[in-house]
Structure formats: C-alpha cells, structure tokens
Amino acid sequence: MDRNSLSNKTESKRTCKGVALLGVASCLALAACSEKASPPVAQEGERVDHFADNAWGNPLAVVQHPAGEHVNGVTYVSYQGPLEDPYVAAYDHKSDRWTGPFKAGVSAMGKDPNRTKKIDNHGKPTLIVDDEGYIHVFYGGHGGTPEAHGDNPLGNHHYGENKHAVSKRPYDITEWEDLDTIPPFGTYNQAVKMDNGDIYLFYRHGAHRSDWVYHKSTDNGRSFGPAVSFLKHKRRDDLKAVDSWYAWVGRGEGDDIIVSYDYHLCWDGGAGVNGRGHTTERHDVYYMVFNTKTGVWTNVEGEELEMPITREYADEKTLAARTGERWTFNGTVHLDSKGYPHIGMNIGEDLGLKTGGPKRTSHYRWTGEQWLGGEPVADIAPSVDSRGDFLVESPQEVRYLLAYREEGVGVVAWWNSEDGGKSFGKGAEVLRREKAGWAITSIIRNSIPEARALVAEKQPGSDWHRVYLLGDEGPVSRLKSEAQQLQE
C-alpha cells in the first residue's frame, strides 16, 4: 500500500509491534494500523481517559485554532497524527459515543526521508464547522517551497503546503476531500466564523519573514477571496533583521474580529548582531479590532488604523504593554461582559538560548482607560513553562486552563481570579500525569463545561502521545479498545 495514500476505510485487522520506536521510520510502519476506523461502542469494557494514542510530534497548539468545535451536542476535535497528517474525532455527549479518529487529509510534510530526525509540527490542523454542517480542516503548511509552489508574493518559504479539506457530508467525519481554495504558503491557520456564516481564515503567509493575512469566504468555505495583509513584515535598516509578527485572532462583539499579537525580531542567519543568529525572539503586547462589516480596523480606543500595520505604526497606535528584555510567546485574547479585551501572553526571561527561556502565562486587561496587568497567572517557578487559554465573564472574573509541570509531574489545572487578574488562585486540577509534558489548545469553539480544550500527554522517549478532551472537571473517557489506535 502506498504510504502517502492510505485508506481511511476499515481493513482487515493488523497487529503492530514496537510502538515505542522513534522517528519517521516507525511512524511510516505504523500509519496503516493507526488509521483504522474505531469499532462500535460496546456496552461494557475498560475505559481510559484519553480518546486516542496516535498523536504525533507536537500535535496541538494554542495558536492553530480552533482545534475543535461543539455543535448540536457533538464536539469535533482535530490533532496531528501519524506522518504529520490531520486526524479528526467526534464525541456525542448525549449517547456518550466516540467516532474516529479518521485521517482528514495528507500533509506534504512528514514523508521526506531526508528529514527523518525532525518533525516540523507547523501543519497541525485547524477545524471549523460551516452553517451547512460541513467540517473544514486547514493543515499542512509551513511556508511552502519555491520548487513546488513558485514565488511567495508576501513573504519567504520553508516547507510543506497549506491545504484545505472538507467533510464529504455534513456532520460526518468518515470521508474527506481537499478543496483548492487557498495559497500553499500559509502557516498558523486560524478560522473565525461570523454570525452571518462568513468564514475568515487568518495565517502567516509563509515562513518567519512574511505578512500576516486573511481570506474571506461568503459561501461556507467553498471559495475564498484573495489574501489581504494586515501585519506587514519589513526589513530593518538599523539591524541585520526583519520585523515580523505572531498573532492570535478571535471573535469580538457583533461584526468584530479581535487580534492580539507580539513582535518577532527575526535576526539574519549566522552569528548576527546578537551573537546567536536567528532565534525565536519576540517582545511586547499589541491589540486591535477588525470590523468585518465596514472593513475598518481600529485600536482599543476606537481610532481608525492605516493597514497593513508596520512595527513603528504598531508601537504608536496598538501597543498594550512593553515587556522590555523579557521574551514573549503569543497567547490569546477575549472580551469581558463590558466588551473590554483581556489578553493572556506568555512571558519569560532571555537566558541566552535560541528559544529564550521558559515562559509563564501572564494576564493583561483594558479598563476602558488603560491597560493593566502583566503578572504571571500561575504560582509556579520561573523555570517552568505554562501554556493555555482562558474564559472571562465579568471584568473581574477570569479563569485560565493552564498546562505545566510541577516537580516533574505534568499538571493541567484551572487558575481563577475574582479581581480582574490582579491575583489568581489555583482551582480544580483536571489532569495529572507522572513525568508528562503537555501540548494544549485554545478553548474549543462554542465549548461547553464537559469539553473545553484538548491536551496531548508528551512522555519522555517517545514521539507518540495520548490525546485528551478536557472538561471543567476532567477528561472525557473512552473504551480502551477504541482509544488504542496503536495496537501492541
């Protein structure tokens, strides 16, 4: 069987051995077995708290979102599976039944024998359901290549090919087809659906030195308009570097889309001015609003903006906070009941590493007059990374679902504030695993208390991970026989 076109249909039973083997070679050998359709739900049997064990590499992230959506009593979820391909599963809350996972497409990444020691991870899927019930997945991109895709008019290249898959039938994840609707250069896909059914797709149009853009669809994702730049990459005259960005995009009030972002100082290769060459160096916190009805962008004070945004203009018009020498890692933004934005940004010290240092999630909020905040949410050591997303009701009530490590133990827990983010207290732990690290998503679109976010349990010594659907109080369980996609 061709490893790049494995069938999603149930085949004769296979027995796979050696699931602990690492690297692309083991992934290729196990791909066929991991793509089997799940058996029907049995009345009895041992249950586990993960729904699949074939998440691959770094299979989830906050930035590619939504990773799942709840609609009509079913939560649909997506993650990066074998060969870096997108996988989709669904949980029916009323019947307590899982379906899938099924492979939704074939990524251009993960198959190159010359890259056996590196999992790219940038092509993990984004999922959204249109008004007709068709499920859309955007996946597989990290800038494209000039050999396969030609010139990138809005940036540079790297790897992969940004793709768009859609379910063949409404609310049915068993069969998929690709649509030729978007350029191949994108990465960090983020999908937003408005009340009138219009779908906006945001992403970075290439590798690090590229504009951030959006496309608009008015026909349930069957076609998209041209790319429109909203964040501009630009060569710096004073440094051997390029201005670039990382953004997180979500729904605002009415016709608005809200955007939080940080600034990426993209150094030239080699030793560079900073002595380290290209790094993940990012700084500061920014915010702006896009009115999809009028096409006008504004800052937090309602002042109309000139687009696309450059670094100098962003500093003047959209800056929410300076982080100084500390490095950032893009977080999320939501509005409270007054329509004021709250931003969760991950911030840490520069430890002389290409990745800076560990970053703790910190909270900012707009009071109507000024930005406040910046202190870490979780009371954990500065040497510990935290990631996650938050829910906000009133300007005072904020709840973060954070994933981090605590004395070598992986923890996912709620951290709650009743004073607008000035202080947080630890709430319920929803998951705890020995020696685990975590990959976590943003809050699922239209989430309900039983299903808020996805996490993948990353154990040392393996690139295979278990993936969980977490609610306010813990994970959604599944029959072990179904969750075991990699048969021992």
188 given a catalytic annotation = yes
Residue 291 has pLDDT above 60, yes or no: yes
Residue 246 has pLDDT above 70, yes or no: yes
Single out the catalytic residue among 50, 65, 70, 122.
122
Lowest mean pLDDT among 32-41, 256-265, 334-343: 32-41
Q: Are residues 400 and 339 in the same domain?
A: yes
Tell me the average pLDDT across 439-467. 97
Q: Are residues 267 and 162 in the same domain?
A: no
Residue 3 has pLDDT above 70, yes or no: no
201 domain-assigned: yes
44 domain-assigned: yes
Residue 8 has pLDDT above 60, yes or no: no
Q: Tell me: the pLDDT tens digits for 110-165?
A: 998 888 678 999 999 999 999 999 999 999 999 999 999 999 999 999 999 999 99
Q: Are residues 157 and 73 in the same domain?
A: yes
Residue 22 has pLDDT above 60, yes or no: no
17 domain-assigned: yes
pLDDT band at 227 (very low <50, low <70, confident <90, very high): very high
Q: Are residues 402 and 467 in the same domain?
A: no
197 domain-assigned: yes
Overall number of domains in the chain: 2
Residue 62 has pLDDT above 80, yes or no: yes
Q: Are residues 46 and 184 in the same domain?
A: yes
Share of the chain above pLDDT 90, in %: 84
How much is the pLDDT for 117?
74
Tell me the average pLDDT across 411-436. 97
Single out the catalytic residue among 139, 188, 400, 404.
188
Domain of residue 165, residue span: 12-231+444-488
428 domain-assigned: yes
How much is the pLDDT for 273?
60
Q: Are residues 356 and 416 in the same domain?
A: yes
Q: Tell me: the pLDDT tens digits for 384-423?
A: 999 999 999 899 999 999 999 999 899 999 999 999 999 9
Q: Are residues 454 and 410 in the same domain?
A: no
Which residue, of 415, 436, 457, is where some domain finishes?
Answer: 436
1 domain-assigned: no
Q: Are residues 227 and 243 in the same domain?
A: no
Q: Are residues 195 and 288 in the same domain?
A: no
How much is the pLDDT for 184?
98
Q: Are residues 415 and 473 in the same domain?
A: no
Tell me the average pLDDT across 229-244. 96
Q: Are residues 396 and 263 in the same domain?
A: yes
Three-state SS annotation for the chain: CCCCCCCCCCCCCCCCCCCCCCHHHHHHHHHHHHCCCCCCCCCCCCEECCCEEEEECCCCCCCCECCEEEECCEEEEEEECHHHCEEEEEEECCCCEEEEEEECCCCCCCCCHHHCCCCCCCCCCEEEECCCCCEEEEEEEEECCHHHHCCCCCCCCCEEEEEEEEEEECCEEEEEEEECCCCCCCEEEEEEECCCCCEEEEEECCCCCCCEEEEEECCCCCCCCCCEEEECCEECCCCCEEEEEEEEEEECCCCEEEEEEEEEEEECCCCCCCCCCCCCCEEEEEEEEEECCCCEEECCCCCECCCCECHHHHHHHCEEECCCCCEEEEEEEEECCCCCEEEEEEEECCCCCCCCCCCEEEEEEECCCCEEEEEECCCCCCCCCEEEEEEECCCCCEEEEEEEEECCEEEEEEEEECCCCCCCEEEEEEEEEECCEEEECCCCECCECCECEEEEEECCCCCEEEEEEECCCCECCEEHHHHCCCCC
182 domain-assigned: yes
4 domain-assigned: no
How much is the pLDDT for 330?
86
Q: Are residues 424 and 340 in the same domain?
A: yes
pLDDT band at 20 (very low <50, low <70, confident <90, very high): very low
CATH number at residue 315: 2.120.10.10
